[in-house]
Structure 1
Amino acid sequence: MKMCCSLLPPSPLVIVSTALLLLMQPVVMATAGGGWEDAQHGCQGSELQGKELFCSWECLVFTLQWPGGFCQSLNNESQCRIPVSVNGWTIHGLWPQTRTSCRCWPLFHSDVQELEEELSEQWPSLLKSKTSFTFWKEEWKKHGSTAACVEGMNSPLRYFQICLKLRAQMEFQRLLEDAGITPSCDQPYQVEDVQKVLAPLVGQHPEIQCIKDEQDRQVWFQVKIPLSRNLTTGCVPHAEAGRRFSERSGLDSSSSPGHPCPRDQPFYFVPINHQRPCRPCG
């Protein structure tokens, strides 16, 4: 019996239906490590290889930076800028403490468009060479996409909303002022005194980070606040309970030039100077 094949081209309806079916299928890509990435939903496809790859972390670090200190950390001081609207602590990032990152969920401008005004004030780029959106995009790719395995942070919008809420809760500038800890070019401070003041908001174990300025002085740069997955303060991973976050962090170490301020040395809390960001004290 002969098999016959129609020589007529497929109808437009068939072509369109087939195209729609293809578009509805998730795009799945093999990674270098043998896992799988779902291009539409970030790392969710990696669950086939074991969710523990990206979600075994217990703690996050919420990091706030002081613009006056940040500018002191740059090798090229001409690169620093502090927007005139910025007069306090700004967000550096929210980092799951794990050595395995997802990096597989892209961020688009539309994802954060409704938060852009607030993010620009609370999470600005302080580098002339980097736009604020580029800064957010890098932080999301490196850290946010890994945090997305937690329900409350399982999209770019939710992740950045959480960061802004944490920033509002960690408004400790008034606490510092009430304790007499204010920006100054001449007044040194001690780590222990600052930790006591911040404890009601950030818990007992924040890491006060410094950099060295051109005068070889310790200058306050940022604060790293350990949080549990439910965003409460004071998280310490069971397996590494005795180690500092800066030592066990696999994701944030390369992006932070700071170091723990020495407990046996004073440090300086330099003011913000919008006109001369890298030379606030002249």
Structure 2
Amino acid sequence: MEKKDEFYIGYADTVGQETKSSIRRFVLTALGLLIVGAVLFGSFQKEASNSTFDFDTPTKISGTYYEAPYPMLRVELTENTFKDILLLGFGKFGANAYLDNIKKSEVNINGKHLTIEGNLIYYNGKTLLQIDDSHKIDLDNSKKKNFILPQAMGTQEVVGEIVDPKCYFGVMKPGYGKIHRSCAALCISGGIPPVLVASEANAVSEYFLLTDLKGNPIHKDIIPYIGIPSKLKGEVEKMEDWYIMRIDVSEIEKLEKESSIY
């Protein structure tokens, strides 16, 4: 006798055995594909960076202030061992607005000793400090100055990707690439310094604060190149653990390749 296919109406009939079996096979197959897809998707993802942003833990940092040309604090870790901390403002803004009160009281605060309370951001050997209140900055003229001149490194040609350091070093994961371009553009437009990340497959990275050819800050002019693998050429100087590169923005060469950040 020829077997008839089940015809099932949800509001009128009970579920037949064949329909039950079909639903069971579909659910098990879909679940299996979902698990396999999740495993494959996860295996192709890059590991999240071990960067840290102490958003809820304010820290006081003391050191010698300078702008080269972006706000930095040179901190003495141990005797004759120093580290440069890049200063940032709250949200998507640079630190300058928070330093205005101190700047108004002094002819020039370069080389002055400041104590700043803010939130630390650190990753891959670099440290940044977010300032959220201008009243948390104190000037002490009695302290000694620890200021050095930059070390000239000559002309260099570097392949990398331009990022905003606040997101890249701790606030966003990932903080680079096309997916992050719009956010980085807002940060850099707001006064956060542009940083060129030059990375290799062995995870060795160098970081270059970018300026114009005269050593002045650049912000809006560099926006078209953010988050795009590029080749940059310029005069490089070294200030402790940061490099500074003077560039002609119009000579940046965009590269047709995947992100150079690993």
TM-score (norm. length: structure 2): 0.25
Q: Whose RCO is larger (CA < 8 A, sep 6+)?
A: 1
TM-score (norm. length: structure 1): 0.24
Mark the structure with the bigger radius of gyration.
2
Higher helix share: 1
